[in-house]
Amino acid sequence: MNFNFSDDQALFSESLQKYLSDNVTTKSIREFWTDNSHFLSSRWKELEELGFITANIDESNGGMSLDLITIALLVEKIGYSGMPEPIAEQLFLANPLINEFSSQINHNEYLAVAHDLAPHPNFLEDSKQLIFFQDQNPYLIDIEKLKIRSLESNDPSRSIYDFEANNLDDATKLESKKNLYEQVQNYGMVMSSALLLGLSKRIIDSAKLYTCDREQFGKPIGSFQAVKHMLADVAIEIEFTNALVYRAASSIQKNCSNATMHAAQAKFQSIKACEIASKNGLQAHGAMGYTWEMDLHIFIRKGWSYKGIWGSRPFVENLVFNNLKKDLPKLGATYTFMDNND
């Protein structure tokens, strides 16, 4: 039992963090907002050259076969940066499918994925193909064969679409022994949890800086207990999200029978953390927090989207509740790390 990141896991994610803080500035995000139909292919290329895009592609196909815990750590950093490019989607949704169908899909190109939990694929126009589910069965289709319509997300960093296949015969049904519908659902829940965790950390950091700087009544507003305790409440919820997210990533990696349950728990708590971070974080910025000019909403908006997609609160709560009902005899402290496969 060891909950620490290895040196390599930490080093790898720090190097991504360094890249992101140097390159993904809030200015560059706002520039993207003025024309948000395509992401920066130059940035995608750079991240590909640094090895991040294919980090969990099988080694036999030129990737590094990295484990999902490391990938979740990368996605947390991506969340913190607010980067519009769909690297999180590529790592968590596309790459596992690319590994499974490596002969049918290109290894290092962006691949859009649609699912009932997130039916409007992000940056669909930047992908050559789409994987979608019809009656929970997976299909692969070329974008040209789709009728697509751009939708406006409340988060201008997301470029989302409605799509319709003219004819299901244009798509290839993907055959697998696994339940890919459930797999993508679980990966999606953990991906969005890791993003929300990173976003929450960014929001509290911003609030902390602002309240130490902004003065009223002759001193920083961060010295007032009402403000301190508001942010302490945020810090508490964030603290109790970390381990849930990495336990969920580990359970998926190990193919644990409780993976869905663990992913749902991670999502539930990360929604809670991001919600209180957004509410109290914005409150700590006062009226400035409610302006378009302040960068804070770049992160809050992203949170709004990922709270709803890849497992909304009622969806994940139902998953957990139904599992508890089913497993009532197997509850309690001695079952935390139990795998029903054992």
Residues of the shown chain interacting with other proteins in the complex, contacts defined by CB under 8 A: 1-9, 11-12, 15, 49-51, 59, 64-67, 69, 204, 208, 211-212, 219-220, 222-223, 225, 227-229, 231-233, 235-236, 239-244, 246-247, 250-251, 254, 265, 268-269, 317, 320-321, 324-325, 328, 331-334, 336-337, 339
Residue 106, both tokens? 């290109």
Structural element, H or E, at residue 130: strand 129-134
Q: Are 139 and 104 in contact (CB under 8 A)?
A: no
- Minimum CB–partner distance for residue 243 and other proteins (Å): 4
Q: How far is the CB of 178 from other proteins (least distance, A)?
A: 22
Nearer to other proteins, 5 or 139 (CB): 5
Q: For residues 73 and 191, which CB has a smaller minimum distance to other proteins in the complex?
A: 73
Between 34 and 334, CB nearer to other proteins: 334
Q: How far is the CB of 309 from other proteins (least distance, A)?
A: 20
Can you tell me the distance from the alpha carbon of 84 to that of 170, in angstroms, rounded to the nearest whole number?
30
**Min separation Cβ 159 and other proteins, Å:** 28
Cβ(249)–Cβ(68) under 8 Å? yes
Distances (CA, A) of 284 to 214, 229, 328: 10, 11, 42
Closest approach of Cβ 185 to other proteins, in Å? 18
Nearest approach, Cβ of 77 to other proteins (angstroms)? 13
CB of 271 to other proteins, least distance (A): 11
Nearer to other proteins, 100 or 233 (CB): 233
Question: Which residue, 65 or 176, is less far from other proteins as judged by CB?
Answer: 65
- Identify which of residues 287 and 333 has a Cβ nearer to other proteins in the complex: 333
Least separation in angstroms between residue 55's CB and other proteins is 8
Q: Which long-range contacts (CB under 8 A, 24 or more apart) does 52-55 make?
A: 52/16, 52/87, 53/87, 53/90, 53/91, 53/108, 54/95, 54/107, 54/108, 55/12, 55/91, 55/95
| Residue 176 or 223 with smaller CB distance to other proteins | 223
Contacts made by residues 116-122, CB under 8 angstroms, sequence distance 24+: 117/185, 117/188, 117/189, 117/309, 117/310, 117/311, 117/315, 118/188, 118/309, 118/310, 120/151, 120/153, 120/160, 120/161, 120/162, 121/160, 121/161, 121/163, 122/86, 122/89, 122/158, 122/159, 122/160
Amino acid sitting at position 102: S
Strand intervals (E) in 156-229? 159-165, 172-173, 215-216, 219-220
Q: Which is nearer to other proteins, 147 or 325 (CB)?
A: 325
287 or 328: CB nearest other proteins:
328
Find out whether 137 and 172 touch, Cβ atoms under 8 Å. Answer: no
Nearest Cα neighbor of 79 from 289, 233, 310 is: 310
Q: How far is the CB of 333 from other proteins (least distance, A)?
A: 4
